[in-house]
Structure 1
C-alpha cells in the first residue's frame, strides 16, 4: 500500500463513520477543536495537539471554500499525524515530496472534498482556484479517481 492509498482509505473510513464529507462536521464529531485567528497573509491554517487536544486553527481572512479545503487538509494531519508538531498550510507552499506528511494530508483532503465528484481535467484549475489551492495540486485529482 502506498502512502496516498493509506490517506485516501483514512478519509473514506471517516466519511463512512460520520456519514459526511464536511471536514468541519467530522472534526466536531471527532472532538477536534476549530478556532479562527488572524494569521496574516501567508498562513492559511495549521493544526496542533495542545495538552493532547487536537486543534485546527484557520485564518480569519480565508473565504468559506478556502477554509473548507484547509480544514480538510488539517483534519488529515489530526487524524493521521498526531505524533507530529504543528503543521502549517502556507499560501506559498511548495509541492511536497511523495510520501511526506504534507503529501498524505493533501491526498486525504482531496478524497474528502472531491472523491465523489466527476471533475473534468479541463476544470482542475478553476476548482483549485475556487477552493484557494495552488495550481500544482491538480495531480491529486488523478490519485482519487
Structure 2
C-alpha cells in the first residue's frame, strides 16, 4: 500500500478557529438586536447577547493569539451582543419595576371612605319632570 496520504481538507462549510467563532458571535448579536422590538425577542436577546459576547471575546482572543485577521466578525459580535443584552435587560428591569411600583399605594380616595352605597339626587328646577306622588303640581 501507499505510504501515508495527506490529511483530508476540511469541509467547505465547516470553519474552524477564530473565524468560525467570530461569525457565530456576529450572527448571535445581529439576531439579538433584530429581535429587540418583539416581546419574545426581548427574552431571547437577554440570552443571545451574552452568548455573542462570550463567543466574540473568545474568537477575538484566539485571533490575537494566532495572529489571524479574523477579528472583525468577533468585534461586530461583541458590539451587537452588548447592545442586545443591555437594551433588553434595561427594558425588562424597567417594565418589572413599573409593574411592581404601580400597584395600590394604600391611600384611599375620598369616595372610598364613605360607608354604604351613595346616591346623589339633583332637584328638578326645570319643571319638565313629573312630580313624585303622581299628581301634576
TM-score between both structures, scaled by the size of structure 1:
0.22
- Name the larger-Rg structure: 2
TM-score, scaled to structure 2: 0.22
